[in-house]
Structure 1
Amino acid sequence: MNGPNTMYRMRPIIKLTEELELPKCMYRMKNIQQAYLNNRLEHQLSNETRPTSISEQVKKFLKCPLPEMTALENRQEAILAQLADLKNQITALRGQLKQSAAPPAVKETNISRSRTCNILQNGVIHDIVINASPKYPPYSLVALRRLWGDSLKLGVRCHIHSSVLQLPTNLENFLSVISDDCDQERSSLLNITLVWKDVGPDTELVVSPMKHITIKGEVNILRYLSRLGPPRYNYELSNDPAVSSRLDSLLDTCYSLARCRTVKERQSLIHSLNCCLGKSQFMAGGDGISIADIAVWSVFRQIKVEPLQDLSGAMKNWLQHCSQSLKLDS
């Protein structure tokens, strides 16, 4: 015999030709055998699709989206949606207000004018310390005090540093003019303490005594004070950039003229100033004294251009006119 053989084959006793209708009970039990078969089938399918090598597992891991990246993308989409909504609201408001797409240009001069005029509007008292050498008196302070007048009262007090033994006699006129009013300091909004100190031609304005920050050069101090003073004397507020640039160049020339070491260099700079004045009445070309006139007038008095052989006829008339206008004899 090669294998098991059935001796008898039984015939089915009952033949089910039709599907039986099961009774509808209140509670119906699950088919235990069918659930077991389904679990085995799912397990076999999972084993077939599971990667067998490490490289396949890495590829599958890289293809899976990270939750952090998904959250970041969702956040970005939400922000973009908010920006789009905000843009639509602004467009709707612009249409209601009947405004153009381009906002109206705001003049920078108005902004600068409001910032510059704070010292006059707020009434805040400013105290400034200036160190100057008796050999290079800051005549520009006298000129500013005369020029500003009651529009911005300027008070000046003088002190002598230990590095200066005695003031020269040629400063008597300067001191009498700059401190002629004892009550000026009480009502002034800008108080300057002038310390006579051996600092050479580099007049210093102490901005921060704690940090030892100084502004050197009389023309640079003039730039600083012009921003604090009345707006009409601040050349930086001019609507014409060419005028502001020209005045800046004149101030730089005065800065170099006060530090000349040779006669030839001084004559060259004075000739440049003669050309700038030309046939005009003032250095800025207007009808009144400007910061440039004050700077040139002060440096001429410091270097003592006498007997004025280097000055043109127009420059001599200009110098005399400035001295008379500022009420300080040359």
Structure 2
Amino acid sequence: MYKLKPVFSVPLELKNTCTVYKLKNLQEKAINVQIKSKNVNDDMELSNEGIEVLLNKEHEVLNKLMQLEYRLSKLNFQFSDEKDNLPIPKIPKVSSMPYHIVQKKHHKKTESKINNDIKNLIKTDIVVFADPENPPYSLLALPILWPNVSWDISYHIHSSVKNDLKILKTIEIFTNVSSKYNNNTTIKVFVIWQYNKPSPKIVKSSTDILFGEVQLLRLFNHNLTTETQRTVDQTNSDKILDLINDINCSTNDRTSELYNLITDSNTILDLKNIALWSLLYKKHNIPPNIEKWIEQMKNIIIS
């Protein structure tokens, strides 16, 4: 009916000085937990939405780092303890990979000069995924082209490759190479026989991947051959290598276009002849004069 005035005022919170410890408000704790979980969900949603942007940023940064590394490699700075600063190479792990180990020694045949860019090949191991149905025979010529380099080339068979006797017969010509010289510049190449197209696939890092046998030869030529040797007839050589690569990647049979690039007396081991030989060695119905040239190159490379 009417409101009475309080006789004395009572505080909203009573403090008892005799308690051992004070209990927290359970309702307030539950409210805080709900608020925190909601914030966590919001953060997760934001991170999921922005993950693609972050990956793109990371890819841009990695590309810039690779460009800077390439530019720095062109400068002839002498760094102290360069070997200690190099990252430890990681051997690629492939599950269920039985492989045959046959050691093959390549003796020094000719004097060849090597440029300082070889450090680009020894910082990390090179992995080559090669299709056994389209083997890159130019791998056999690497120790012959650069005999003064210490090579460590090993071949492995992936579990996805079936036990096809014809396939195994084809790739048995590829044997492990271990050539050591008085230097610390060993180039390690891991070749994995695996059905994949395009072949071969050359992996130097997660951001440095090449495709094709011509690109494989260019990679080693760029980092191993001296500047003077690279500039001689470079334009003509690049045109021929581009033509070989185009014909190899073409869906039409353009093998006859390669015949004009071959002369019976020209059996020099250069990039053009090795790329030509590797491509034609896998072809059938070759003219007799071309077959003779292929056999001559085979006797030089496969001894």
- State the shift of 1:130 in Å: 0.9
Inter-partner Cα distance in structure 2 for 1:227 and 1:127: 17
Aligned to 1:326: 301
Aligned to 1:131: 129
Matching of residue 308 in structure 1 with residue 289 in structure 2:
no
Matching of residue 291 in structure 1 with residue 276 in structure 2:
no
What code does the residue aligned with 1:320 have?
E
- Deviation track 1:149-205 (CA, whole Å, cap 9, x = no partner) reads 2x1122112223343233654554644543165979x97611101112221243111
Aligned to 2:230: 236
**Within 5 A, what are the aligned runs for 1:1-330?**
117-118=115-116, 124=122, 126-149=124-147, 151-166=148-163, 168-172=165-169, 174-179=171-176, 181=178, 189-209=186-206, 211=207, 213-231=208-226, 236-238=230-232, 243-262=233-252, 266=253, 269-278=254-263, 281-282=266-267, 288-301=268-281, 304-309=282-287, 313=289, 315-327=290-302
Indicate how the Cα distance of structure 1 residues 175 and 126 shifts in structure 2: closer, same or farther if over 3 A, else same: farther
Q: Given the two structures, how large is their TM-score scaled by the length of structure 2?
A: 0.53
Native 8 Å contact 1:134 1:168 kept in 2:
no
SS in 1 for 2:152: strand
Percentage of identical aligned residues: 22
Native 8 Å contact 1:157 1:192 kept in 2:
yes
Native 8 Å contact 2:150 2:180 kept in 1:
no
For structure 2, the 5+ residue unaligned runs are 1-72, 78-113
- Deviation track 1:216-248 (CA, whole Å, cap 9, x = no partner) reads 11101111111222438x86332xxxx222211
Stretch moving more, 246-255 or 117-126: 117-126
For structure 1, the 5+ residue unaligned runs are 1-110, 283-287
Q: Which has the larger radius of gyration?
A: 1
Inter-partner Cα distance in structure 2 for 1:275 and 1:246: 14
Inter-partner Cα distance in structure 1 for 2:224 and 2:164: 29
Native 8 Å contact 1:125 1:189 kept in 2:
no
What code does the residue aligned with 1:307 have?
N
Indicate how the Cα distance of structure 1 residues 187 and 247 shifts in structure 2: closer, same or farther if over 3 A, else same: same
- State the shift of 1:270 in Å: 2.9
SS in 2 for 1:194: strand
Inter-partner Cα distance in structure 2 for 1:128 and 1:218: 14
- State the shift of 1:320 in Å: 1.9
Deviation beyond 4 Å, 4+ runs, structure 1: 119-126, 170-174, 180-184
Larger proportion of helix:
1
- State the shift of 1:300 in Å: 1.3
Native 8 Å contact 1:132 1:198 kept in 2:
yes
What code does the residue aligned with 1:271 have?
S
Paired residues, what number? 194
Inter-partner Cα distance in structure 1 for 2:209 and 2:120: 25
